[in-house]
Structure 1
């Protein structure tokens, strides 16, 4: 039997992938990798997260963004509902890749004439608008519930603006045959862009922007009683918890259904939303799901809600993680 990886806590083990050769030990909840207590950029990021002076301008901008993107079809297009994945991350690859590739060419091919570098910078500048639009849309959906995201997101946007100005100035200098100035401006832009990218990664991987909010608590693998049958009427929503997983129970037209209660978009509780027929509307950003199977009906969410198996037995409603096949 294999042992847990070094540095992993062993709380609540759950064995998967069992075979005669080995077992892979994972945790439903609670496994954590030891992280270094200090990384160079973190004190600065922590300072941004505590900077209340950023709240007023950030809230004003976010409110305006939500007003401008209130039309559902526009919001879905920008959010990536049609793609099944947020649009912002792949667009950032275009911007960062183009800008940094231009600077790389300046280093490895300084006597090439600079045409390729100019074209790459032009591509990066062109891609900045849709990238910024999708990013600020994602940020505006989150800042109301997380002041840390609100503050860091504003700094991230300002740094991106500075980087854009530097690369635009670089392109202008290159077109005037001032290539050295153009190269130096591009290197400055790359430096700013690098730290801004760090902040973007912090918001995604540390604060969960754009992450499927249902991914890490799938529910109990075994049948678990969560409610007395008599407590759920037809057309009623009931939120409960089964082994740390929030569960939404619904009776609809004589059927009994269970889906994940935390909206996949930003984690709001669907049980606090409105039920219209078989469709539940998230109270925070208006995403809609079919309660019968969790299918995504309308964004800005990009994925549906996990469905749970549900049954009634001995006067109790029981749920478990949905079986496949």
Structure 2
């Protein structure tokens, strides 16, 4: 029953009008590339949203335990306040990540965000009730908030693990490559300072040659699987980067380092070796 409901949610095109409008709002409000990279977690090498949610989740869960114990009202109230305040940066990071997802992912993400917003409202009401001396009402609202937040967390898990939102889509490509060294071809045939694509088995690999050094990375963008081989190149030499044509994630060609989001992690790279002018690659 739950799986069928989630499946229908993924296909609920009726949500697209709200989703598309909200996506435009988020992108217009947070225009700074530096701020977007900060919230995506590009500087961290890992999506920031799941890191930030630990504070409110931990505070709310702890408050629920203390509410079940006698004489812990003050401590529980403090935790509710901390969790409510800590939810703001987590929400900001979540919306920035959400704005760069596909439509079916945004549908689930929209309901996930709605559930969490309702839960946060209940916690704010719980905090207000506790501060005004209505501890019984505060506990009821707190447990109601925790229940709805749990439903939101379920949707967040589905979004991440079933739909692959903010997971590195390039990592699975590495697993499909042969473990032993595989010959790619003559190094001299590769253009200097310009990325090129070669296929190993059925996996596309992006190669970048600088002199006698060649870097190899998975060609499928880690963010949403876009074709990096069709992206623009910015910069030159060791600082040259490839820009994904789908969502603009930018990776340094010499080592796969993520320079700009929405990708939150580096692009998977492969080992390379050159013997008698022939390039071979292998998994890391």
TM score, norm. by length of structure 2: 0.87
Higher relative contact order (Cα pairs below 8 Å, separated by 6+ residues)? 2
Contact 1:164 1:189 in 2 (8 A): yes
Q: CA deviation at 1:314?
A: 9.1
Structure 1's unaligned 5+ residue stretches are 1-39
Equivalent of residue 233 in structure 1, options 191, 195, 215? 191
Per-residue CA distance 1:59-107 (angstroms, 9 max, x = gap): 1111221233332211111111222221111221211221222122111
In the alignment, structure 1 residue 248 sits paired with structure 2 residue 198: no
Structure 2's unaligned 5+ residue stretches are none
CA distance in 1, matches of 2:23, 2:42: 21
Contact 1:238 1:271 in 2 (8 A): yes
TM score, norm. by length of structure 1: 0.77
Per-residue CA distance 1:118-174 (angstroms, 9 max, x = gap): 11111111011101111111111113xxx3211111101111111111111111111
In the alignment, structure 1 residue 285 sits paired with structure 2 residue 247: yes
1:92-111 to structure 2, matched below 5 A, reads 92-107=53-68, 109=69, 111=70
Distance change >3 Å, CA 72–CA 98, structure 1 → 2: same
Going by fraction, where is helix more abundant, 1 or 2? 2
Per-residue CA distance 1:232-271 (angstroms, 9 max, x = gap): 4334433343234331123445654321112223322211
In the alignment, structure 1 residue 152 sits paired with structure 2 residue 99: no
Distance change >3 Å, CA 124–CA 321, structure 1 → 2: same
Contact 1:234 1:254 in 2 (8 A): no
RMSD between aligned residues: 2.5
Equivalent of residue 42 in structure 2, options 78, 81, 97? 81
In the alignment, structure 1 residue 122 sits paired with structure 2 residue 81: yes
* Residue range with higher mean Cα deviation, 91-100 or 239-248: 239-248
CA distance in 2, matches of 1:226, 1:60: 46
CA distance in 2, matches of 1:287, 1:171: 40
Equivalent of residue 273 in structure 1, options 220, 231, 241? 231
Where 2:224 maps in the other structure, the secondary structure is coil
Contact 2:66 2:72 in 1 (8 A): no
CA distance in 1, matches of 2:257, 2:44: 15
In the alignment, structure 1 residue 45 sits paired with structure 2 residue 6: yes
CA distance in 2, matches of 1:262, 1:157: 28
CA distance in 1, matches of 2:9, 2:122: 23
Contact 2:247 2:262 in 1 (8 A): yes
Contact 1:217 1:244 in 2 (8 A): no
* Residue range with higher mean Cα deviation, 218-227 or 196-205: 218-227
In the alignment, structure 1 residue 142 sits paired with structure 2 residue 101: yes
Where 2:171 maps in the other structure, the secondary structure is coil
- What's 2:132 paired with? 176
For these two proteins, the number of residue pairs brought into alignment is: 278
